[in-house]
Amino acid sequence: MTTISVPKATLQRYPIYLKALRRLKKNGITRIMSKDLSRMIDIEPTTIRRDFSFLGNLGKQGYGYDVEKLITVFNQQLGVEFDEKIILVGAGNLGRALLNYNKWDHVVGEIKCGFDADDKKCGSQFGIEIYPMDQLEELIPEGCHIAILTISHDVQKTVDRLVQCGITGIVDFTHQHISAPKGVYIKAVDVVSSIQELVFITNSIDKATK
């Protein structure tokens, strides 16, 4: 893998590009011009060309970009396959909403299965199998490193079990303080805080315009 230095803002746009490229490939489109990609994702063509330039000379003037080549370059140069096996822990209301959404398969992979302590929530949901929590160690997919956590009880105990199973990345919707050993990354998602931030920003704008 080639070591590259890419600005943070550019890195944050790469998943957007990849999602669009995978959608194009799925629809049988083999090449794309930056102006056409721009219309798909609402990013300026000049920005797209500059972002892609960090990964090498990928396009040809008048021809555009080879969709398959771009996807391959993302995988090889960034060192990520974007096909992660993800598990969901907690199949309650929020968990079911995530299962129903599950549109990130064009970007990072897909939810392979879920686990829940309530047997009534186990079984197939939106085409994804939900297993009892006591089968976590037995049925977690091989090579799985990412878990989405939406439970409200025994959170730390569950995190400890996930780490023992090889999970190194946790998307945390629990709003509880949890700890994990070095090398395990936790990304907390707090919708309420996001709304509060937006309320503050919009109110500040309203007051400034009055």
Digit-coded pLDDT (tens) for 6-32 = 888 888 888 888 888 888 988 899 999
* Phi-psi group of 82: left, alpha or beta (phi > 0 → left; psi -120 to 50 → alpha; rest → beta): left
Question: What is the rounded distance in angstroms from the CA atom of residue 75 to the CA atom of residue 196?
Answer: 37
- Locate tokens 């590009």: which residue? 17
pLDDT digits (tens, 9 = 90+) for 27-45: 899 999 999 999 999 999 9
pLDDT digits (tens, 9 = 90+) for 148-198: 999 999 999 999 999 999 999 999 999 899 999 999 999 998 888 888 888
pLDDT of residue 104: 60
pLDDT of residue 1: 42
pLDDT of residue 178: 94
For residues 170 and 159, is the Cβ–Cβ distance under 8 A? yes
Give the count of beta carbons closer than 10 Å to the beta carbon of residue 122: 18
In terms of pLDDT, which residue wins out, 188 or 104? 188
pLDDT of residue 79: 56
Look at residue 209 and tell me whether its pLDDT is greater than 70.
no
pLDDT of residue 4: 59
pLDDT of residue 207: 66
pLDDT of residue 119: 94
pLDDT cut 70: percent of the chain above it = 89
Number of C-alpha atoms within 13 angstroms, CB side, residue 153? 6
The mean per-residue pLDDT over the stretch 112-135 comes to 96
**Dihedral angle over CA of 153, 157, 163, 165, nearest 10:** -90
- Locate tokens 């907390």: which residue? 188
Look at residue 82 and tell me whether its pLDDT is greater than 70.
no
116 CB-contact burial (10 Å; exposed 0-12 / middle 13-18 / buried 19+): buried
